[in-house]
Amino acid sequence: MLKILKYAFFDLIRSRWSYTYFLFYFIITFSLLYLSADLSKVIISLMNIILVLSPLIASIFGVIYYYNSREFTELLLAQPIKRSNIFIGQYLGLVFSLTVSLLLGLLIPFAIYGIFYNSEIWNFVILIIAGVFLTFIFAGFSYNIALHNENKIKGFGFAILIWLLLAVAYDGIFLLALVTFSDYPLEKFALFATALNPIDLSRILILLKLDISALMGYTGAVFNNFFGAAKGMIISGLSLFFWTIIPLAMIIRKSSKKDF
Amino acid sequence: MEIINIKNLNKSFGKNEVLKGFNLSLVTPGIISILGPNGSGKTTLIKSILGMVIPNSGDIYVNDINIKNNWNYRSLIGYMPQIANFPENLTVKELFNMIKDLQGGLGDEKPFVDLFKLSAHLNKKLGNLSGGTKQKVNFTLTFINDKPIYILDEPITGLDPIALIQVKKILKQEKEKGKTILITTHIMSLVEELSDMIIFLLDGKIYFKGTIKELKEKYTENNMEQALAKIFLNNTTNN
């Protein structure tokens, strides 16, 4: 698995897209730091970008990478290696290269700014953790989608649809449900519904750390009331961890049965 | 020892039964051509032997090893896929190293690099190579390690005439060394020139297995293509 990971990573990190992705975060972070003196505000602006963009990029890259390397995967399948190792290796190679772009794009400007000597460092760390989780989770989703769909257009469509649903439509539907059933006690429903969306979980994880109740929204407030900030963070972090494991397990399961 | 032994293999994709109760036993090494019209099950057969397609039922043995839930046996087989498509941002050299790495750190690409004059391309990215050069790289990867069995899927598409002569030479050499080489191709001149045995598939079953001479005698034809066409027509008009 490590061998596959190594070469997949080398292949991807040298691609033009990795540089573009890195440059995007680098320029955005740099400009935000330049424009605002308030680090908390910069972190919140970045959060809003990362929560939408990193799942989108991970989704698109996941499907494109799978379909692009389809023929090479066949060659690998004929080598004396276990099947699951090939797919997990490729998936991790993809995720690591995206993570490196994200990490460096954020870290370099912040390091120049002097984040390591600033009290905001842990807020910054949580922001990065959330971004990395979302990259893992959405790359996992899209890799599964590609494994299940031979048709590229269909696979691509599904991946975008999942992103659109979780990043954009989910909050609207959720809010509508809360308004419609406002006569009922909704705390548990709200908690449950939030746990089903990794993007919401990441947002809550960051906002609990930043302790900005105004931005938390209903679910964040419920999380805060129900668990308190520390416990809320642990629980949202754990839920994100599960969201990372599930697609990985599904990749192993599907790849062991699939015909190529 | 049987090199390849397939017992009552069934494979269907949805409602499409590709291999039906397929049996095959290969005992003597040499170059074996697998022929048949499109959709006759050639690729499915090859991919089943390689473990890429998982059969619905039946058993496959390679060198008497049952391949079910096994992946180690693949170190016995060199496989050349039909379409050569490699990671774009790796160099040719890195790809050779990767495949050697995966095959236990053994292997030597040098004879093929010299033969195909690939040394000028070694440090180029695979995404920048022409189709023919990629095919040469593909060929090199297949033979990078010494294996008892080689499986080649349409090996000569896209090769220039000089490379083609070299490929034929390599195949003959490997045969002399006592290797088993399975080839699928639609190019009959290659089949006539190289094959020790041909296997003709139709609708997922073997309709003929033997030498070219036997084929011609059985169907009283002087031309191999005509004889194969005869099998094809005899068995499709009945339906």
Per-residue pLDDT tens listing for chain A (260 residues): 888 999 999 999 999 999 999 999 999 999 999 998 888 889 999 999 999 999 999 999 999 999 999 999 999 999 999 999 999 999 999 999 999 999 999 999 999 988 888 888 888 999 999 999 999 999 999 999 999 999 999 999 999 999 999 998 988 888 888 888 888 887 788 888 888 899 988 988 888 888 776 676 777 777 777 777 788 888 889 999 999 999 999 999 999 888 88
Using an 8 Å CB-CB cutoff, list chain B residues near A71.
Answer: 81, 83-85
pLDDT of residue A88: 94
pLDDT of residue B104: 85
**Contact call for residues B196 and B12 (beta carbons, < 8 A):** no
Q: How far apart are alpha carbons B44 and B31 in whole angstroms?
A: 19
Using an 8 Å CB-CB cutoff, list chain A residues near B81.
Answer: 71, 74-75, 78
Measure the N-to-C terminal CA separation of chain A; round to a whole number of Å. Answer: 19
pLDDT at B238 over 60: no
- Ordered by start, the domain boundaries in chain B are 4-236
pLDDT of residue A186: 78
pLDDT of residue A213: 65
- Which of left, alpha, beta for B221 (phi over 0: left; psi -120 to 50: alpha)? beta
pLDDT of residue A146: 95
**Contact call for residues A174 and A122 (beta carbons, < 8 A):** no
With a CB cutoff of 8 Å and minimum separation 6, the contacts of B69 are none
pLDDT at B230 over 90: no
Q: Do B50 and A10 touch (CB under 8 A)?
A: no
Which of B71, B96, B142, B154 is the best residue to mutate to test the A interface, defined by the most A CB atoms within 10 Å of its own CB?
A: B71
Shortest Cα–Cα distance, A8 to chain B (Å): 8
- The burial class, CB within 10 Å (0-12 / 13-18 / 19+), for B83 is middle
Q: How far apart are alpha carbons B48 and A48 in whole angstroms?
A: 49
CB-based contact, A2 to chain B, within 8 Å: no
Q: Residues B34-46: what's their mean pLDDT?
A: 89
Q: How far apart are alpha carbons B145 and B109 in whole angstroms?
A: 8
CB-based contact, B106 to chain A, within 8 Å: no
pLDDT of residue A158: 96
B177's tokens: 């060394």
Q: How far apart are alpha carbons B99 and B76 in whole angstroms?
A: 14
Which secondary structure element, helix H or strand E, spans residue B17, and what is its range? strand B16-26
pLDDT of residue B237: 58
B207's tokens: 């309709």
Which of A77, A85, A97, A150 is the best residue to mutate to test the B interface, defined by the most B CB atoms within 10 Å of its own CB?
A: A77
Number of H helices, E strands in chain B: 8, 10
CA nearest A72: which of B134, B7, B149, B177? B134
Encode pLDDT of B47-79 as tens digits: 999 999 999 999 999 998 898 888 889 999 999
Encode pLDDT of B147-193 as tens digits: 999 999 988 887 888 888 989 999 999 999 999 999 998 888 888 88
**3-state SS string for A174-222:** HHHHHHHCCCCCCHHHHHHHHHCCHHHHHHHHHHHHHCCHHHHHHHHHH
Using an 8 Å CB-CB cutoff, list chain B residues near A15.
Answer: 88-89
Shortest Cα–Cα distance, B37 to chain A (Å): 20
Phi, psi of A140 (to 5 degrees): -65, -45
Q: How far apart are alpha carbons A45 and A29 in whole angstroms?
A: 9
pLDDT of residue B233: 82
Q: Do A14 and B89 touch (CB under 8 A)?
A: yes
CB-based contact, A70 to chain B, within 8 Å: yes
A45's tokens: 């602006």
DSSP structure class, residue A15: S
CA distances from B55 to A20, B10, B15, B20, B73 (A): 43, 6, 14, 11, 17
Q: How far apart are alpha carbons A79 and B79 in whole angstroms?
A: 8
H helix runs in chain B, sequence order: 42-50, 92-102, 110-115, 131-142, 161-176, 188-194, 212-218, 224-236
Distance of CA B117 to the CA centre of its chain: 24
Q: How far apart are alpha carbons B127 and A235 in whole angstroms?
A: 45
CA distances from B105 to A248, B108, B139 (A): 28, 10, 19
Q: Tell me, which fold does domain B4-236 have in CATH?
A: Rossmann fold (3.40.50)
Nearest chain A residue to B101 by CA: give it. A3
Strands (E), chain A: none
pLDDT of residue B229: 83
With a CB cutoff of 8 Å and minimum separation 6, the contacts of A51 are A130, A134, A167, A199, A202, A203
Q: Do B103 and A79 touch (CB under 8 A)?
A: yes
CB-based contact, A72 to chain B, within 8 Å: yes
Shortest Cα–Cα distance, B229 to chain A (Å): 30
With a CB cutoff of 8 Å and minimum separation 6, the contacts of B98 are A3, A7, B90
Tokens 């191709």 — which residue? B185
Average pLDDT, chain B: 89
CB-based contact, B204 to chain A, within 8 Å: no
